[in-house]
Amino acid sequence: MKKHILSSFLAIVLLAGSAVASAAEKTKVEIDAGFPGGNIIVVDAGESVVRLKQDLRDTKGRWFYWSFRVRGAQGKTLEFQFDDKIISYLGPAISKDGGKTWTWLYNKTGNLPYSAVSSAFKYTFGKDDTEVFFSLSPNYTEKDLNAFLEKHKSNPALKIGTLCKTTKGRNAELLRIAGQNPRRGFKVVLTARHHACETMASYALEGIVDTILSDTPDGRWLREHADFLIVPFMDKDGVEDGDQGKNRKPHDHNRDYAKEIHPTVRAFKKQVTEWIDGRPTVLFDMHCPSEKGKTLFFFTEAAELNKKISDNVNRYCSLLEAERKSPLYYKKSHNRIAKNSKNPALVKCNTWFMTLPETIAAMTLEIPYALAADIGATDGVAVTADRARLFGKDMAKALRIFLETQH
């Protein structure tokens, strides 16, 4: 009898021990980049400190994009340390719903003081934080574009197609919004993600497209008088793979308008030159600056290169400054003159567009990853997905006025 009781007791202890081991296995912290847009190298993972670095892959020199997922860290406080100052002013962007929505670690409402770009942050995981994403900025990949397009699937004005197959066999999306008078109207080209990691540009692009498709005076006028060609991901492979994209060897997508080694650039140039059909054309190429950038601006061309385009860009930017409703701070005086490469083999999208006789304006927008501020300001406004969309709506409204008053 005693032997039976002892055996039962040992069995209970072993079962309890097994349950504890099983629970420990379930709560083991996992850090990975195995999702669209993921990018991280785990150097060392201790009990409370995790050392990381960005995966540069085929990038020439330093760049700063990173994005990773943590699972099984419920109830823990972890410090994440990089060997480089690549955490932007508001800390990491954080998502707890699989990347559908994002907040900044140091987010506040309205204006806020900003600190220096840093190399480390701490995070305390709640009891329900089974999966948390951390990123340089809110992610935006194919699934986000599909969710956006789903909202407009019943709009007959929007045509969704494929620009081409990428190097890795993915479909590079091509959106068309046909004008009602294509033979008499304007042509407008919208591009984003020539550099894969520049995610905030995609949210601003959403705002532009939202307005064009809307049943508002701006939307109706733009659809009546302009024909739109839109490439959301010029570096589609890089977007999905979580590449830096910038300074890709031997050269990146935005330096490929002479050599055409990237299939999307080659297909884009061919489509655009056939599609313009002699109509006056505007280009917006959407980008983000460095992780330290906090001024929203356009790259423009020197007047001596093309006075007509330069004057038109300045007029558009004056309209945008006057019409801006988004909290994201912008002034025309922020704009910078683009420096053309001295290497004739490295031609940018904006530069190539200026060679087309139909072009009346060509602009490269740089929207900051985390903060938008006046030059020299000691505070700034947090850049969020919704605020970037609002700025895109401002851009669309200014475009309507610009085209409506074009002579």
pLDDT digits (tens, 9 = 90+) for 263-320: 999 999 999 999 999 999 999 999 999 999 999 999 887 766 788 999 999 999 999 9
Relative orientation angle of helices 200-213 and 385-404, to the nearest 10 degrees: 50
Q: Please, are residues 89 and 380 in contact by the beta-carbon 8 Å criterion?
A: yes
Q: How much of the chain exceeds pLDDT 90, in percent?
A: 81
The predicted model gives 63-88 an average pLDDT of 97
Q: Which helix (H) or strand (E) holds 81?
A: strand 77-82
Report the alpha-carbon angle 323-325-330, nearest 5: 75
Give the residue, 106 or 172, on which the prediction is more confident. Answer: 172
User: Which range among 4-13, 38-47, 171-180, 350-359 shows the weakest confidence by mean pLDDT?
Assistant: 4-13
Q: Please, are residues 41 and 55 in contact by the beta-carbon 8 Å criterion?
A: yes
**Range ranked top by mean pLDDT from 12-26, 100-114, 117-131:** 117-131
Structure tokens at 117: 């770009």
On average, the pLDDT of the chain sits at: 90
Strands 281-287 and 359-366 come out as: parallel
pLDDT value for 27: 59
Distance CA 328, CA 365 (A): 13
User: Which range among 172-181, 246-255, 274-283, 333-342 shows the weakest confidence by mean pLDDT?
Assistant: 333-342
For residue 162, the tally of other CB atoms under 10 A from its CB is: 11
User: Which range among 2-16, 81-95, 106-120, 180-194 shows the weakest confidence by mean pLDDT?
Assistant: 2-16
Which of 317, 275, 281 minimizes the C-alpha distance to 296?
A: 317
Residue 208: is its pLDDT beyond 80? yes
Q: Please, are residues 188 and 226 in contact by the beta-carbon 8 Å criterion?
A: yes
Q: Please, are residues 369 and 296 in contact by the beta-carbon 8 Å criterion?
A: no
pLDDT value for 108: 57
Which of 327, 323, 320 minimizes the C-alpha distance to 365?
A: 320
Q: Please, are residues 136 and 86 in contact by the beta-carbon 8 Å criterion?
A: yes
Residue 181: is its pLDDT beyond 80? no
Which residues are CB-neighbours of 118 under 8 A, at least 6 positions away? 85, 87, 91
Q: How confident is the model at residue 112 (pLDDT cuts 50, 70, 90)?
A: low
User: Which range among 5-14, 44-53, 94-103 shows the weakest confidence by mean pLDDT?
Assistant: 5-14
Distance CA 352, CA 65 (A): 27
pLDDT value for 183: 65
Taking the complete model, does pTM exceed 0.85, yes or no? yes
Structure tokens at 293: 């950038």
pLDDT value for 78: 98
Relative orientation angle of helices 307-323 and 385-404, to the nearest 10 degrees: 120
Q: How confident is the model at residue 350 (pLDDT cuts 50, 70, 90)?
A: very high
User: Which range among 6-15, 146-155, 165-174, 214-223 shows the weakest confidence by mean pLDDT?
Assistant: 6-15
At which residue do the structure tokens 């995981």 appear? 125
